[in-house]
Structure 1
C-alpha cells in the first residue's frame, strides 16, 4: 500500500481529480446497480430515476470528490496521518470509525431535524417517503459537505490505519445502500439475531423516512435506543 500512497504524492492535480471523480462515480453506479438488483430491477438503472434525481446525484458525486481531494491535501500537508502497518489496528480503527461516525452523524442528523436547518438542508432528502437507492445521493450540497467535514475531522484528530479506513468506507457505502432500498432484504428472523437487531437495517432507516421524529442513526440503533428516539415499527 505504501508504494501506492507514494505514487499519489507524485501525481499532478488534474490526474488526482480524475482518479477521485472516477472512484466516486463507480461507487455511485455500483450502489445503484446493486440496489436495483436487490429490489428485483436489474438492468433498469437508466430508466428508473428522473432527470432531476440524476442531476442531484451527480452533484453529490462531484462534492464527494471535493471531500476526497480535501482529505488527500490534508494528508499531503501532514495534517492527517495514515499508517500502513498490517496489525490489529486494522480492526480496531475500522470499529472506532464505525462507532464514532455513527455517533457524530446521529448528532448532526438529530440537530438538523430539530432546527430550522431541516427546511434549509434536509427536506430535500425526505422528499422520498419510500426511499430508493439513488436517494442515498439526493442530498442538499451543504449537507453533503457537512457529512464530509465530520469524516475529515475524525481523521484530523486521530491517526488511522489505511486498511481500517478502507474497511470502514466499504461498510459506509453498504449501509447507505441498504438504508435506501425501500424494502428489507433480510428475513425477519435474521434481524432478530443477537447483535443484528442493533444494526441500522433497511427497515430501520425506511421507518425514519416515514416517521421523521424517530430512528436518526445510520449504522446502528444504539444511539437511538440510548437517547430514546428508537422505534422498531
Structure 2
C-alpha cells in the first residue's frame, strides 16, 4: 500500500483520500444504526438535519484536503516516514503520537471554549448535548482545518514509523466514534481498567457535552487530571 501511495498521481491521491473519508463517514453512520439494534442503551437513530449533513460534508472535504496536503509533503520530502521500524520503535512512536496529539488537542479544545472562539465556531459542535456518532463530524470548518493541520504538522517533526501512523489513525477514529456514540457499551470492569490506565471512555466525552467546563481531553484523562478539569466522581 505504501509503495502504491508513493507512485500514484495527485488526482489519484485526491480520489483515494476522498473515497476513504466518505467510507469513514458512512462507517460511522452504519455503526450508529447497528448500535441501536445491538444495545438497548444506545440512542435511537434520528434523521440527520440539513445543517448536520452540510457540516459533516464540509468536514469530509476538509479532511480530504488535509490528507492530500500531507501526501504532497511526503512526496516532496518535507514529511518522512520510517518504513523499517522495529516493534519497540512502532510501540514508542504510537505512544508518542497519542500523548503529543492528546496534549495538543487538549490545549486547542480549551482555546475553543474561550468565549470569543466558542461563540464564533465551537458552539456548533455543542448544540448536540446528547451525542451520536455523526456528531463527530459536525463541527465548524475552521476547527476541522485546525485539527487536521496540526496532525500533519506533527508528522513533519519526526520520522514516525508507517505502522505507528496507521495504528494512531485507527485509534483516533475509534476514540472519536466512541466519544460521540452517546452511551457506554463496555462492562463495568472494562471501564475500571480504562480509568486506571487514564484512557478516556465514551462517558468521559459525553459528560463534556453536558458540562462544558470538564473533560476536555480526547484519548486520555491525563491532561484533565493535571490541569484540574476532570469531572469529579
- State the TM-score, normalizing by the size of structure 1: 0.91
| Change over 3 Å in CA distance of 1:103–1:14 after alignment to 2 | same
Q: 1:34 aligns with which of 31, 34, 40?
A: 31
Once superposed, what is the RMSD of the aligned Cα atoms?
2.1
CA contact (8 A) 1:35 1:178 kept: no
Residues paired across the two proteins, number: 229
CA-to-aligned-CA distance 1:67-113 (integer Å, 9 cap, x gap):
10010011111111001114121111111111110110000001111
Q: Secondary structure at the match of 2:136?
A: helix
How far apart are 1:40 and its partner, in Å?
A: 2.8
**Residue aligning to 2:210:** 210
Is residue 191 of structure 1 aligned with residue 188 of structure 2?
A: no
1:1-233 equivalence runs, <5 A: 4-40=1-37, 48-87=47-86, 88-193=88-193, 196=196, 198-232=198-232
Give unpaired runs (5+ residues) of structure 1: none
CA contact (8 A) 2:33 2:45 kept: no
CA contact (8 A) 2:32 2:45 kept: no
CA contact (8 A) 1:190 1:196 kept: no
Runs of 4+ in 1 over 4 A off after TM superposition: 194-197
How far apart are 1:197 and its partner, in Å?
A: 5.8
How far apart are 1:114 and its partner, in Å?
A: 2.2
Give unpaired runs (5+ residues) of structure 2: none
Which stretch of the first structure deviates more once superposed, 217-226 or 30-39? 30-39
